[in-house]
Structure 1
Amino acid sequence: MNRTVLFLSLAGVLALTALVLGLPQVGVPKTQPVVVAHPPPRPPPLTGAPGSLTMTSRLSHPYVPAGSSELFATVDLMGAEVPGARRSPVNLALVIDRSGSMSGYKLAQAKQAARHLIGLMREEDRLAIVHYGSDVKSLPAALATPAQRERMLQYVDGIWDDGGTNIAAGLSAGRFQLSTAQSSFRVNRLILMSDGQPTEGITDDEGLERQVQELRASGITVSAIGVGTDFNEDLMQAFAEYGAGAYGFLEDASQLAALFQKDLQQASTTVARGVTLTFTLPSGTSLGEVMGYNARQSGNQVTVSLPDFSAGQLERVVVRLVTTGQAVGSTVRVTDVSLSYSDLIRQAPVENNAALSAVVTDRQEEVLARQDKDATVYAVRARSAANLQKAAEALRDGRREEAKGYIQQNQVMLQEAGAVASPAAVAADLAEQQATLDEYSSAGSEEELRSAVKKSKVKALKGFGKVGSTY
């Protein structure tokens, strides 16, 4: 890394360190320290009303200086546990890539995983098996009775590798198979597996993403599993996000059975779908960015679409905001948060609301003392995730030293967050960053580099808060 790049990188780290520690931002006047004898208690996190989802929202800085300052809002969503509940019947389509690149070990493992999935199906479940290369073939969906399960196993045995990679045809066939009984099931899910790039049919990312969005709009959830190191991870991640399902990366196809089983469990314990978060920004607050999610802004409202939630599933959204504090001692409304979803336990639509506000102070030590430790760590994890994505792109393009520089920036940010929260709060994060740095240094072959890129992007998704929807 040359001196100019290093200087700019260090400058960025110092600026972010100031943010993490709650130091005055540009345009915020410095004040002389004043000892606070009896500081007021920190405002507690705001928790939404009971339902199949629990919402907890908080600000990184419940106290802000007068003038313009940057802070983070974090929203945690947790799916309700349903002790002793029998899993819901599912209408499932398993769509398997059997193009030429799947020949041998990968296809053998995919077929074994399909057999395992068939064994997990109950008589009230419905399963279609679709496989695609240049063309697409299907075993029509049927209830998983003992006789039908035997037929499904025989069909899987007859799958052989052939042709290119027509993902669009596979998605269309899966949608058709699900649609024939979709209205009879509460949960309709398509699991797509691929090891390569789309080469036939619709091949552009935008067209394929639009196809998945249409699937989701029709009531079908899409999960995407990439196998090996040759597939387009950005495209498969987009499938999972637009399809409100899960994304998984498997370097070794032998793990497919476990992932199919996990996705079936997620589908069959779904407690909420159609989940959206809306941030309403009052006058004086503007959006910096929604970290790691596709968001839509209309006027002063920012909407984020989230995956379907299974029992116990956790997802987090971190939003960077800029707010303006006025009179010292006043309360500034930073943002209102609205959560809406279809509650599959209550069988009814639900909406929860919360408001996040901060107190304006002229005492900088009060800003520091009242900083929310958890929200600060969450915010730094999201910022580190953004750096990790940049590092993965740099590594993919052969800029290894630049990639390592992003990871080193992350280490500095996390250490500063540890000074606010505690070293223990970021110990696992620092260990993971070091492991990534070591992997970047040791990767020699093209295969190892591609693997490191994909692993980094998975870690980034989790760092942004996509915890339950990333395998």
Structure 2
Amino acid sequence: MNKTVAFVSLAAGLALTALVLGLPRLAPPHPASPVPTPRPATASNGSLTMTSRLSHPYITPGSADLFVTVDLTGVELPGTRRTPVNLAVVIDRSGSMSGYKLQQAKQAARHLVGLLGPEDRLAIVHYGSDVKSLPALPATPSNRERMLQYIEGIWDDGGTNIGAGLHAGRSHVTASRGDYAVNRIILMSDGQATEGITDDAGLTEVVKNIRAEGITVSAIGVGTDFNEDLMQGFAEYGAGAYGFLEDAGQLATLFQKDLQQATTSVARGVELSFELPEGVSLGEVLGYRAHQEGRTVRVPLPDFSAGQVERVVARLTVVGTKPGSAVDVTGLKLTYTDLLKDAGVESAASLSAMVTERREEVVARQDKDATVYATRALSAKNLKLAAQALREGRREDAKGYVMQNQALFHEASAVVSPAAVQADLAEQQAVLQDYEQADDDESMGAAIKRTKSRAAKSFGKITSTY
């Protein structure tokens, strides 16, 4: 590893560790004075439950960095009938899909057809240089036979016109959008756009416009040649899910998973807002798009299905003044359309920290769960840097970022216990082994995509990353 890069990486690691753990570490209070576990704030007025925590419920006077973690969970719906779906599956059939990939894509599409009922609608779109499609039809027995015959006739041909495929999917879903609560496009591709709209900004704008019409977009990348940043962006702007598959044989499983998410949807148009009091400033929202207007920070989130869990971690700077007093850290507001109530819902919570002159109290009262969540989110930043370094051929630098993560989790274990981060350390070790074994362009591309998928989950995109 380049010595300068190594030094900067180590310095950054120590700085991040200090943020997470509130270093220097100090001895806990005397055993005769047990420390109560910090209580999370929970709010639920509908199909989503919001649970929020502060990494440091106690701070010292002056400026302090701390983390807010917000878990959002969709209500469980055991034994209930799923919601009918208006769906378009958009399949890349360009020349690079020939053979095994296209065979598996067709098999996955056939499997998807078999999961639908007469109350559902499905359009089948396939694209190369041009676009062909079977318009959306109710999935009646006779129409399912027609769909299966159509799938059988798909053959590989041409370049990769992703934009045209998305436009076709939108037009088919839009035709019946008003009759369905759930409207969704599942896009599958193994390559980068070579025809039609080829720039990332233009393709992302297509997805933004589709989402603005109330249609969700999920993106599944197959192999090692597709643009994972673009496909992840499709899922993020499209409020759907992102999946990476090395083996096209897993497509049927992912199609089924995405259909399950779509047909058990409980909330759409989900947005989390942070209201920052005077004296509190935003450092960053880790891994999510965030928009700040005045003292309000808005974070758009995916549509939620039953049981879905997503997490948002934000770093804030707070100024504590008088010891013994409480300082407001943030107000939280969750807004969404509740599909079970067919109405808009708003939930709110507030978080505050106590000011103390006793630094040992700051450390002793640190929230263990929030500390783990914050450490994972910080490690995700390093994983993205590692993936970029690997792409640029800087393997040793990439490994350095991962080793920095190992140091972060070891430091966190001093606060939360080694068992709490054992799986995280094992995952970082697996990444290092992945980098060691990547010895050609294909294995290198796969390692990069696996790293970015891990980063998305560590940021908190737990269920929306397949």
Q: TM-score range by the shorter chain?
A: over 0.9
Residue 67 in 1 paired to residue 59 in 2? Answer: no
In 2, Cα distance between the equivalents of 1:33 and 1:107? 60
- Deviation, structure 1 residue 345: 1.0
- Deviation, structure 1 residue 250: 0.4
1:85-106 CA-to-partner distances (Å, cap 9, x unmatched) read: 0111100000000011111110
Flag the 1:109–1:360 CA change in 2: closer, same or farther, 3 A. Answer: same
- Deviation, structure 1 residue 24: 6.1
| Residue 365 (structure 1) aligns with | 360
Judge conservation of contact 1:133–1:161 (CA < 8 Å) in 2.
yes
**Number of residue pairs matched?**
466
| Residue 426 (structure 2) aligns with | 431
Unpaired segments of 5 or more residues in structure 2?
A: none
In 1, Cα distance between the equivalents of 2:144 and 2:175? 19
Residue 446 in 1 paired to residue 441 in 2? Answer: yes
Judge conservation of contact 2:28–2:363 (CA < 8 Å) in 1.
no
1:54-74 CA-to-partner distances (Å, cap 9, x unmatched) read: 100000000001100110000
Structure 2 counterpart of 1:344, one-letter code: L
- Deviation, structure 1 residue 177: 0.4
Structure 2 counterpart of 1:157, one-letter code: E
Which moves more between the two structures, 88-97 or 39-48?
A: 39-48
SS at match of 1:384: helix
Flag the 1:116–1:277 CA change in 2: closer, same or farther, 3 A. Answer: same
Pairing of 1:26-425 with structure 2 (within 5 A)? 38=33, 41-425=36-420
Query: 452, 455, 458: which is aligned to 2:453?
Result: 458
In 2, Cα distance between the equivalents of 1:88 and 1:18? 47
- Deviation, structure 1 residue 319: 0.3
- What percentage of aligned pairs have identical amino acids? 68
Report the TM-score, using the length of structure 2 for normalisation.
0.98
In 1, Cα distance between the equivalents of 2:384 and 2:4? 22
**Alpha-carbon RMSD:** 1.6
| Residue 21 (structure 2) aligns with | 21
In 1, Cα distance between the equivalents of 2:175 and 2:10? 58
Structure 1 counterpart of 2:344, one-letter code: P
| Residue 28 (structure 1) aligns with | none
Structure 1 counterpart of 2:411, one-letter code: E
| Residue 468 (structure 1) aligns with | 463
Judge conservation of contact 1:79–1:314 (CA < 8 Å) in 2.
yes
In 2, Cα distance between the equivalents of 1:466 and 1:185? 26
Structure 1 counterpart of 2:359, one-letter code: Q
Judge conservation of contact 1:197–1:230 (CA < 8 Å) in 2.
yes
Report the TM-score, using the length of structure 1 for normalisation.
0.97
Structure 2 counterpart of 1:12, one-letter code: A
In 1, Cα distance between the equivalents of 2:91 and 2:29? 65
1:294-345 CA-to-partner distances (Å, cap 9, x unmatched) read: 1111111110000000000000000011111111111110111100001111
Flag the 1:391–1:235 CA change in 2: closer, same or farther, 3 A. Answer: same
Judge conservation of contact 1:23–1:364 (CA < 8 Å) in 2.
no
In 2, Cα distance between the equivalents of 1:33 and 1:445? 50
SS at match of 1:438: helix
- Deviation, structure 1 residue 40: 6.1
Structure 2 counterpart of 1:54, one-letter code: T
- Deviation, structure 1 residue 15: 2.3
- Deviation, structure 1 residue 23: 2.1
